[in-house]
Chains A and B, each alone.
Chain A
Amino acid sequence: MAQSAARNVTPIHGDGILPAGTVAPNFTLHVTPDQTLTLSELLGRPVILAFYPADWSPVCGDQMALYNEILSEFQKFGAELLGVSVDGPWSHAAFAETRHLHFPLLADFEPKGAVARQYGAYRAADGFCERALFVIDKNGIISWSYCSPVAVNPGADGILQALEDLPK
């Protein structure tokens, strides 16, 4: 991957997600109603950022549910998985509890979609996030990104491949 081409970029808005080689924009978001998480706290290990349109997708093949089932595979790479949508922290809390999710869901809630916009992963016309995936290396550089059609579960094969491709 093009880590050597790391560069700072001006945030783009909805016309393409940030590509590999870009410094991952830092952010602080609510992970519960009274707790926040800052991306830079996770420097030193890989991070998987999974933007998704909304909590409460009604199918068994739900993307977040799938990631929940394979968390241990991500953890083998020491990677931290973060889900991000524009839902508020109370919605996330209820969603995570119902689905027994064992990873944080971040609320890109106020200002709405601000972080998603920075990653080029906001659908302004719809008011929610793209189904966009980012693997960020231990130095905070995006090493892989992928945007799936919004109705298509992108699965985890791309993430696992990207984690495998990270320099050891």
Chain B
Amino acid sequence: MATLKMPITAEDHAQGPENAEVTLVEYGDYECPHCGRAYPIVQQVQKHFGRRLRLVFRNFPLGEMHPHAEAAAEVAEFAGAQGKFWEMHDRLFENQARLGDALFEDLAEKLELSTSAMREASEQGTFEARVRGDFKGGVRSGVNGTPTFFINGHRHDGSFDFETLVSAIHGAMDTAKSA
């Protein structure tokens, strides 16, 4: 079974306690329709488990297929550098159909981020290496498409509907307890 090769570090974007029973890692692409469908499901799963679950999001933009995916990932990283990763992450998924420069500027303004600094970061590719690093690490971990989930480091090969994810996470909790 494929396992997560890149350990979770302080550089990762995480929601939930570091010592949560289960860590769910999502490799996602803001323009991927399947990730768009997974977005509210993951939120439901987080609500269901509360502080027993930590969520980590990593970038896996399929830029050849999704022309705005890379830019969106860099915009989220730009927001992240200013402590607003999840705010931007959520808004990007909630506005998936409108991805593009106009939306990015609009969202930056709503989050009180500097649009000129965001443009500059985009032009200079400030967050390109970060996004590429996520992508490469994903490939080495067996991410073959999006979304791909890892539950406590093991790739989740089942579907990502609420019931399946919840039951897989319960399984990981049981494994952790018996270990």
* Chain A residues with a Cβ under 8 A of chain B: 59-63, 65-66, 68-70, 73, 99-102, 153-157, 160
Contacts and interface: CB of A to CB of B under 8 A. Distances in A.
Contacts of A73: 136, 139
Given A66-B145, A153-B145, A60 B140 contact: no
Q: What is the predominant secondary structure among interface residues of chain A facing chain B?
A: loop
Contacts of B33: 60
B82 to A, nearest CB: 28
Interface in B105-155: 135-136, 139-146
A153 B64 contact: no
A88 B63 CA distance: 27
Given A73-B136, A157-B139, A160-B139, A61 B64 contact: no
Interface of B: 2, 5, 29, 32-34, 62-65, 135-136, 139-146
A157 B32 contact: no
Contacts of B145: 59-62, 65-66, 153
Given A59-B145, A60-B32, A157 B140 contact: yes
A69 B142 contact: no
A62 B64 CA distance: 12
A157 B34 CA distance: 22
Nearest to A71: B64
Nearest to A68: B64
A156 B139 contact: yes
Nearest to B29: A60
Nearest to B146: A60
Contacts of B139: 66, 70, 73, 155-157, 160
B65 A60 contact: yes
A100 B65 contact: yes
Given A155-B142, A156-B144, 4 more contacts: A66-B139, A155-B139, A156-B139, A157-B142
A146 to B, nearest CB: 13
A68 B144 CA distance: 12
Residue of B2, B141, B145 most packed against chain A (CB within 10 A): B145
A69 B59 CA distance: 13
